[in-house]
Amino acid sequence: MNIPRKCRGCGAAIVFVKTPGGKAMPCDDAPLTYRTAPDGEIIITPNGDAVHGVAVAPGTAGATGWGYRPHWATCPDAVKFRKAITGPAEQMTMEQLAKAKQR
């Protein structure tokens, strides 16, 4: 079950998706349709798996499924999440990190 919350950092609506490992992953409360792509962004499936994909319009032929964008990818206060999340957070771009540190 995904419980809607608000991000303590930026106030955006987020949902926590349980990962197979039992962690709760904060994600943007805006499900998106995606197509698997090795060089795409990280997308969290409803099962909590992290996959690489590109967002496509709902109903697009060949779409893989739907999922959520991890909130640390869009949150201006994402730097605060880095202690709580390991793994995918390491893949934040240097540009995103620099932006986060400026605040």
Q: Which CB sits closer to Zn ion, 7 or 55?
A: 7
Helix (H), strand (E) at residue 101: helix 94-102
9 near Zn ion, judged by CB under 5 A: yes
Among candidate residues 12, 24, 31, the one with its CA nearest the CA of residue 75: 12
Shortest distance (Å) from residue 74 CB to Zn ion? 7
Query: Cβ-count burial of 90 within 10 angstroms (0-12 exposed, 13-18 middle, 19+ buried)?
Result: exposed
Question: Which one among 5, 10, 19, 65 touches Zn ion, defined by CB under 5 A?
Answer: 10
Question: Which one among 17, 51, 55, 75 touches Zn ion, defined by CB under 5 A?
Answer: 75
Shortest distance (Å) from residue 95 CB to Zn ion? 18
